[in-house]
C-alpha cells in the first residue's frame, strides 16, 4: 500500500521553510497573521517551489546541491528548527487560563497568610 506522504512549504510564518508533517507546519502558521503555506506530494516539488520562492524574494541565490547528491535519510532544506523562546509555552492551556489559575493561587495564598496572621495575633 502506497504511503501518502506530503511536504509543507511555509512561505510566510514563524519560521519559513519545508516541513514533513502537518504538526510541524501548523506550529509555524497557526496564530500567525497572514501565514502562507502549501502542501506538496513530493519533496522534490516542494524543494523546487521553496528554492524559487527564496530566489525571487531575496538578493541571495540559494545554492543547493542536486537532490541525487543529498543523503536520502535527511531531505534538503528540511531542517528541524526551534522557534523563538517567546513562541514556546510550557503549557497547552490558553494564556487566559494560566493567568486565571495564577490569580486563584495568589488569592488562596493571600487568604492563608491572612488567617495565619489573625491566628497569631488574636
Instruction: Quote the pLDDT of residue 91.
Output: 53
Q: What is the DSSP secondary structure assignment for residue 60, as one 8-state letter?
A: S
Q: Assess whether pLDDT exceeds 50 at residue 1.
A: no
Give 37 or 87, the one with higher predicted confidence.
Answer: 37
Q: Assess whether pLDDT exceeds 60 at residue 2.
A: no
Question: For residue 90, with 0-12 CB atoms within 10 Å meaning exposed, 13-18 middle and 19 or more buried, which class applies?
Answer: exposed
Tens digits of residue pLDDT in 66-115: 555 555 555 555 554 545 545 555 556 677 777 888 889 999 999 999 99
Q: Assess whether pLDDT exceeds 80 at residue 58.
A: no
SS3 20: coil
- Mean pLDDT of the 3-29 span: 90
- Mean pLDDT of the 19-39 span: 92
CA distance 5 to 65: 23
Neighbours of 49 (CB within 10 A): 16
Instruction: Quote the pLDDT of residue 40.
Output: 94
- Average pLDDT across the chain, whole number: 78
Please state the pTM of the whole predicted model.
0.48
Q: Assess whether pLDDT exceeds 90 at residue 64.
A: no
SS3 12: strand
Amino acid at each position: 500500500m502506497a504511503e501518502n506522504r506530503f511536504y509543507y512549504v511555509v512561505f510566510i510564518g514563524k519560521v519559513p521553510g519545508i516541513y514533513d508533517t502537518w504538526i510541524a507546519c501548523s506550529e509555524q502558521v497557526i496564530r500567525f497573521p497572514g501565514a502562507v503555506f502549501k502542501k506538496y506530494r513530493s519533496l522534490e516539488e516542494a524543494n523546487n517551489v521553496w528554492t524559487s520562492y527564496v530566489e525571487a524574494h531575496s538578493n541571495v541565490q540559494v545554492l543547493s546541491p542536486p537532490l541525487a547528491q543529498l543523503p536520502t535519510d535527511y531531505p534538503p532544506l528540511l531542517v528541524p528548527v526551534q522557534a523563538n523562546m517567546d513562541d514556546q509555552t510550557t503549557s497547552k492551556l490558553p494564556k487566559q487560563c494560566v493567568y486565571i489559575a495564577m490569580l486563584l493561587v495568589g488569592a488562596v495564598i493571600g487568604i492563608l497568610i491572612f488567617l495565619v496572621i489573625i491566628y497569631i495575633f488574636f
